[in-house]
Structure 1
């Protein structure tokens, strides 16, 4: 169920040919640093993860810091998007990595249920408990055992906009759902549709739904739906779909209308707002939009690419939906104990601050200095993520079985694309979502 999601990895594999070159150069994995001196000198830790391009390069800087600290060599092995299949095949072949960076709660739970994981050491668990909001421990825990250390996070409740478009239309950053729609219609009246929507990528539509649902229904309902403890036919789901339809059905709000949106992938949606020929004033997605706007279109985050928090819906609070990557240690790894030492390092602010300085990174660790981030926009999103504390909720579709929450052309992705195409019957869509969810959770 690895959708190209949660962080800038979504763009790393798809946006830039230059990143593809970078991946080719590192696809076989590489060793980090000479193992001379230090308590782990002579040992090698193998780490598997989905990261490619700049993300892989920057994570290797963290591994370099671990090498310098301990003397251990490290090898990073790209797993591809299907982490579960990759790890299963490596275990079966007797060549399991020591550490895996797991991008989804559902996959972490699967690994635990297979008996593949070692519990976090007491030292790692204490550092994580001290530095992370309890919700992150909850997402890393299966049946009462703490397995997954969340190291990298994404803030997926940010709406990015062109300041020029807002100035031309005479609108300001909205603070409510109603204000968001009003600002969008004013933008449209000024000659630029409100939203570039990446309907070709079903994961973006799940993110739209999750933000509306978390704000409108509240965290408790969100958790229940994420675990399928309530059905998708629940009145709260129908209400959220009805709210989302206010955007999807309005041709003033959706650049190119539904059909245009369904032909737009995520990188193209960012281009429609920040590219040389803008076609929309806003694009909703996570903090990783800033990286695309900067790297691909030369925009300066905080100057000609700005964001505001996804607004609260009705009487609801502004949502903070997140995603993230959890480090786990495999029992079958040849050097699992040294792997656990790596997790002890990753649990420290020191490790996170290495990547924070390199860019394209948010840490869920409250002890990471905001000064470690390289620009004001990243500092602002990091502060918002940390400030949300225990009200942060992990991406719902990443908590679901892959057949429902993470398969192109099926499940939630496909049904929300159908809903974008025709949002006239939220109740019928809810029924289809429940049928697909029930089948996936049963299997």
Structure 2
């Protein structure tokens, strides 16, 4: 079967247990406490000093497009403001719809693409290069990448050996967040295996609170559920094969993973709003309804990445106090470690655009961004003390300690039409599965038909 460069690149990440193991250790060692430790010198951020050299760009104007909204957008704008302060350039943020690659295509066709775009999919970078939309990363930004990033993160932004993107934002997508009051009232404990997770869910249910909140209106959250179960149950070799469509979605390993996921999806009383209700809930609200309502929220747990911290804050809750986190439970022998991220890609060649990529690849930008919360940097030289609490610090430490030892989000490696488009492909099939988790074979056939067409195209 034909495999494009971006499909093969998923093999840079080898093994998955290290991230989960380090994360479990660091979260336990900090007691899940979100407060800063006065005994640890690392808890006090270093004095901010400019370490990256940027050119003077007085009077230059550039635009930057991303799909971020709310606090996530506001936090990124603070990073852009610092770039403006240091260079004199003027940066305009352009809100983009999801999937952003379609937005980029429309803007290119109209002759007015943004100078820089932040894209979440590895496949989107490849698509932009194939269509000759993307420009190569300059020498200054490449120097920052070489100094600050593990090789795996650098390679994710390459196409045929040329650097076209800078992965400036990472995500640990193997986390389950829980309402501490709910767990305390129920006498629930943090599970380490899938069976223990289902037992914990029953314990929370028996206490009078619905166990799990699912943002099913956003199909990407469902792909993350599947990927974590599949990686842990089927193993990394099968994960790589399915990501590259070297095995079909009708493979028995997919049946096993969907059957396991169906153990949760098949218990409508365990899901806030039931299955149909969950399909109406977007991701931000799935977090909000877990951390509002005192000790009687709509749900006790919500699954998603480290970026949940932003939404916890928007719900007026405190990470490490009201909201704590445990690694996604092991379904097989080892717990999964799935990562994602956003890459900055240059669409119009300019001195200011290249300078922005250089800044975003620097420790300066990573530390400023980290201070805002709800952000995880793959920059290995960023000061961990910049993160606002011990929970986020532990997550960041685990990511950096893992180096190249992780698996990238499977759906983000897939062609956009299959792995990253609302109402199509994997997103749509898993929404159908949430609606009716009984017919596993039908969903497998649906996934394979959509995948076969997308990978052929």
Match for residue 102 of structure 2?
85
Contact 2:99 2:420 in 1 (8 A): no
Distance change >3 Å, CA 329–CA 255, structure 1 → 2: closer
- Report deviation, 1:148: 0.8
- Report deviation, 1:231: 1.2
Distance change >3 Å, CA 79–CA 197, structure 1 → 2: closer
Match for residue 305 of structure 1?
323
The secondary structure found in structure 2 opposite 1:390 is: coil
The secondary structure found in structure 2 opposite 1:150 is: strand
Match for residue 26 of structure 2?
none
Match of 1:315 among 320, 333, 350: 333
Structure 2 runs not aligned, ≥5 long: 1-53
Contact 1:209 1:244 in 2 (8 A): yes
- Report deviation, 1:256: 4.1
Match of 1:140 among 157, 168, 179: 157
Q: Which has the higher contact order (CA 8 A, sep 6+)?
A: 2
CA distance, structure 2, for counterparts of residue 395 and residue 278 of structure 1:
30
- Report deviation, 1:211: 0.9
Count, aligned residues: 402
Match runs of 1:140-219 below 5 Å:
140-219=157-236
Match for residue 351 of structure 1?
365
Contact 2:55 2:355 in 1 (8 A): no
Distance change >3 Å, CA 267–CA 122, structure 1 → 2: closer
Distance change >3 Å, CA 142–CA 38, structure 1 → 2: closer
Structure 1 runs not aligned, ≥5 long: 1-36
Distance change >3 Å, CA 245–CA 53, structure 1 → 2: closer
Further displaced range: 234-243 or 130-139: 130-139
CA distance, structure 2, for counterparts of residue 290 and residue 248 of structure 1:
25
RMSD over aligned Cα atoms: 2.2
- Report deviation, 1:365: 0.9
Match for residue 305 of structure 2?
286
- Report deviation, 1:341: 2.0
Match for residue 274 of structure 1?
291
Contact 2:116 2:346 in 1 (8 A): yes
Match for residue 408 of structure 1?
422
- Report deviation, 1:420: 2.0
Task: Note the alpha carbon deviations across 1:363-422, whole angstroms, 9 max, x for none.
Answer: 111111111112223222222332333233332222223332233333212221222232
The secondary structure found in structure 1 opposite 2:213 is: coil
Contact 1:38 1:71 in 2 (8 A): no
Task: Note the alpha carbon deviations across 1:333-377, whole angstroms, 9 max, x for none.
Answer: 2x5233112212211101111111223321111111111112223
TM-score computed with the length of structure 1 as normaliser: 0.84
Task: Note the alpha carbon deviations across 1:205-249, whole angstroms, 9 max, x for none.
Answer: 111001111222223322222222221112221121121112112
Match for residue 28 of structure 1?
none
Q: Find out whether 1:361 has 2:379 as its counterpart.
A: no
Match for residue 261 of structure 1?
278
- Report deviation, 1:285: 1.5
- Report deviation, 1:312: 1.8
